[in-house]
Amino acid sequence: MKKPVYILDAFTSEALRGNSAAVVLDGADLDDATMQRIAGELKHAETVFPLPARDPSAAWHLRWFTPTDEVLFCGHATLAALRVMVDEAQRLRVPVGQVVRTAFTCKSGMLRVELTRTPDKKLHVAFEAPPAEFKEAVVSAELLMALGLIPEVLEPSQGPRRSLSGASQSGGNLYICLRDRETLARAAIDQKALAEAMKADGAGGVILYALQPKEGVDAAARAFFPMDGVPEDAVTGSALAQLGLLLQDTRPDAMPRAFRFTQGTELHREGHVLVSVRPEPEPGQIRAWLSGDGVVVMRGELDLRALVKAKK
């Protein structure tokens, strides 16, 4: 039993930048435990399995696994899966100049997708992220200390917020705005202390960000998930989708509204994420859509024949 496998660097047009994800195809015959073992073998932050659709309105059902757990949604691995399924595996045709609208299902529900191809045949991928709401938050002294920060470096016009999302398996992300890009770069993280402070606070992740770090960029960010085994993530599509919703909530403007975010600079894997915040037909409802480039850096096969023999 062999499975096609791809490694794609997401949210970048340059190899070995952005955030890498593994994409394993034709996994409908794999059980949950085997998918988890494969993710542990591939050792990426997320491995995604595009599976046959479970709804007639959807093209695929997606599942994402870290090396230790299944997650409800992952932005960069979704981008990887969609690009691989269209351009590499050619499971869906996207003609030049047309918009192909489809969807995928996952444990966060059904999420919409828009695919287009430019005259030079470049694929553009946009997909919906799960909804999120926010509440004001207080940052403890212990958490600030673990981040290597002091209260004076927080941006007073943009107080801390916590996300409330159906896609969260924890207490949601804590968003902390800093005064400037230099402060963001200087944040020195004590991972053990941060994990302890986050556990006490009930936060699943901590997102530090600085607004308008340079012309053409709305925010630069860093994201930390030590309790999930990710000390610092390179480019976190799900968190940046929430950041777009957060900025629309705290600094409202006309929609649809486009944001450009950067992340990963401190890890030497800078990526660029485009977030479009769009109104829904239902009054007061908005959703964030993610888009970005991607580069396939490996194409191969996962050989599971010995695993099959061991099961017999």
Give CA separation, 68 vs 33, 226, 247, 271, in Å: 11, 13, 32, 25
Strand partners, 173: 205
Question: Taking a C-beta distance cutoff of 8 angstroms, is the pair 11, 235 a contact?
Answer: yes
Count CA within 13 A, CB hemisphere, residue 25: 18
Query: What is the DSSP pairing of strand 173-178 with strand 2-10?
Result: unpaired
The CA distances from residue 293 to 77, 90, 123, 216, 272, in Å, are 12, 18, 9, 17, 8
Q: Say how far apart CA 57 and CA 111 lie, in whole Å.
A: 10
Residue 231: both structure tokens together: 């000390």
**Residue 182, H or E segment:** helix 181-186
Catalytic residue (choose from 46, 128, 232, 270): 46
Number of H helices, E strands in the chain: 7, 18
46 is catalytic: yes
* Helices 237-250 and 75-83: angle between axes, nearest 10 degrees: 120
- Residues with Cβ within 8 Å of 63's Cβ and at least 6 positions away in sequence, in order, are 35, 48, 49, 51, 70, 106, 107
Active site residues: 46
